Structure 1
Amino acid sequence: MAVSFHVRSNSFPSRQHPQAAHVDDQLIRLRSSETASSSSICQRLSNLQDLHDSLEKLLRLPITHQALSQDQIEKLLDGSLRILDLCNVAKDSLSQMNEGLKEIQSILRTKRGDLSAEVKKYLASRKFLKKSFQKELKSLKTCQNKDNTDESLVVFGEAEAITVALFESLFSFMSGSKACGKWSLVSKLMSQSKATCEAEANEFTRVDFEFQSEKSLKMEDVQILESCIQDLEDGIESLSKSLIKYRVSLLNI
């Protein structure tokens, strides 16, 4: 069902504004893209950037100024700040992993340094980050139970919910499959587990498997993961910039 931008106000026209209709169309497209892969997540980050650019334009309309109360603006500011915090958590985590991968690639290229120690350091960092992702996911679910259902905020509220859902997918994607995360233990009992997990593995878990085994390390997979991380960092950075512009327009109302 399409989302409409309405308020309980006689001054607000019953006919939907073209900019609000455009936002509705963007929300519909975003709701239909739920797959979790590096390419799909990057595309959704790009689509979310476009969505927040459109919301920012909607906020600049005089008609929107008349529709939103001070309390409602405060709620939108709080929501956008929460999403910016998620952006920072994701960017910091990706940056940390990328630094570890660069160190490992440097050792592989120059044949200098303790590769085993650097791999263990990377895996320890991954273990810590996975715990922080689980903490963030738990926090996101708690916040979702408090979603605002104010009719006048329905468009903005759904945009926030879809953005939060994207970060849920992102953190889960970066953590990897829970079943495959325990592959090193299970594989000792069932050789089929390795094949199953490798088939389901994404860029992050594939490199985790190789680092854990230490015998199947493929430079190509490390480079693919590094490229994946760079794409995600770029997408999150662009979304952050759009969110900041969106917040500025809120503050200007």
Structure 2
Amino acid sequence: MEDLLKLPLTQQALSLDQNQKWVDELLDCPVRFLDILGETRDAMMLMKGNVRDFQSALRRRKVGDLVIQNHVSSYWSLRRNTRKQCTKYLVLLKNTEESSFGASPPLDLNQHLSAVVRVLREASLITSCIFQSLMSFLSSPILRSKVTNKWRFVSRVMRKGRVVQNVNELEKVDLALCRMLMDNPAKDFEVENIQFAHKGLEAVLVVIEGLENGLDCLFKHLINTRVSFLNLVSN
């Protein structure tokens, strides 16, 4: 994308007054994604810190401790807030995709600028799909039992001690916490439940760190694209 923007024909096309609408669109796309990216990174940093604190508490405490219950409540509260925020962004991305990326540039638009617009829209569509996948993951349903018998709830979504295949890492932690907080669990299960929760939390950390690395690369790309546009417009 940066190579396309460096072409003299691109700079010439963007300098024409009648193309200002398309210049504004080209400038706006990276900014919208950067806003979402920043909010998402902040949310994941909060979740990572929460998970690490939770792991530390599990190493020091027993399942029945009030401290553990407070950490469970804090984790689920953060999950709810993150889910609400990401659901909002998911709707926004889908609406933007339908309204902005579907229409074709007009026939009378400069041929080279038309090609630039198409390339940018294709890149924006790919970026939007990446964000939608991320938002779908972070806004996954919270598998928290509201019934008295938590074991009955857990057993519905587990088979022979294994979580069903279509449950992601966040949902596995939800199940682990429900299992850990079962009413009057047998002592034989206490160590196993803590280990199960530890394993789930560790998997979430691995996923979050991988997502953060990917978002860092995407951030650099969006910044470079934005700077390239600004340099073209200011010349």
TM range (shorter): 0.7 to 0.9
Structure 2 CA distance for partners of 1:116 and 1:185, relative to 1, 3 Å? closer
Structure 2 CA distance for partners of 1:103 and 1:171, relative to 1, 3 Å? same
- Alignment match, 1:125: 78
Confirm or deny: 8 A CA contact 1:183 1:197 kept in the other structure. Answer: no
CA deviation after TM superposition for structure 1 residue 197, in Å: 6.2
Once structures 1 and 2 are overlaid, which stretch shifts more, 238-247 or 187-196?
A: 187-196
Structure 1, gaps ≥5 residues long: 1-54
For 1:1-253, list aligned pairs within 5 A: 55-68=1-14, 69-111=19-61, 114-148=67-101, 149-150=104-105, 152=114, 153-176=117-140, 178=141, 181-182=142-143, 184=145, 188=152, 191-195=155-159, 198-215=164-181, 216-217=193-194, 218=196, 219-253=198-232
Amino acid across the alignment from 2:157: S
- Greater radius of gyration (CA): 2
Paired with 2:33 and 2:134, the residues of 1 have a C-alpha distance of 13
User: Does the residue aligned with 2:99 lie in a helix, a strand or coil?
Assistant: coil
Amino acid across the alignment from 2:164: E
Structure 2 CA distance for partners of 1:189 and 1:120, relative to 1, 3 Å? closer
What's the % identity of the aligned pairs?
32
TM-score (norm. length: structure 1): 0.69
Confirm or deny: 8 A CA contact 1:107 1:114 kept in the other structure. Answer: yes
CA deviation after TM superposition for structure 1 residue 110, in Å: 3.5
Q: Deviations over 1:87-124 (max 9, x none)?
A: 11210111111010011111123349812101210111
Paired with 1:202 and 1:99, the residues of 2 have a C-alpha distance of 20
Confirm or deny: 8 A CA contact 2:86 2:139 kept in the other structure. Answer: yes
Amino acid across the alignment from 2:222: L
Q: Deviations over 1:35-75 (max 9, x none)?
A: xxxxxxxxxxxxxxxxxxxx122211212223333332211
What root-mean-square deviation, in Å, do the aligned CA atoms of Structure 1 and Structure 2 show?
2.5
Paired with 1:188 and 1:108, the residues of 2 have a C-alpha distance of 24
Amino acid across the alignment from 1:87: L
User: Does the residue aligned with 2:100 lie in a helix, a strand or coil?
Assistant: coil
- Alignment match, 1:5: none
TM-score (norm. length: structure 2): 0.74
Paired with 1:81 and 1:223, the residues of 2 have a C-alpha distance of 33
CA deviation after TM superposition for structure 1 residue 194, in Å: 3.5
CA deviation after TM superposition for structure 1 residue 83, in Å: 0.7
Amino acid across the alignment from 1:170: L
Confirm or deny: 8 A CA contact 2:154 2:178 kept in the other structure. Answer: no
Amino acid across the alignment from 2:4: L
Confirm or deny: 8 A CA contact 1:56 1:249 kept in the other structure. Answer: yes
Amino acid across the alignment from 1:116: Q
Confirm or deny: 8 A CA contact 2:154 2:179 kept in the other structure. Answer: no
Structure 2 CA distance for partners of 1:190 and 1:214, relative to 1, 3 Å? closer
Structure 2, gaps ≥5 residues long: 107-113, 182-192
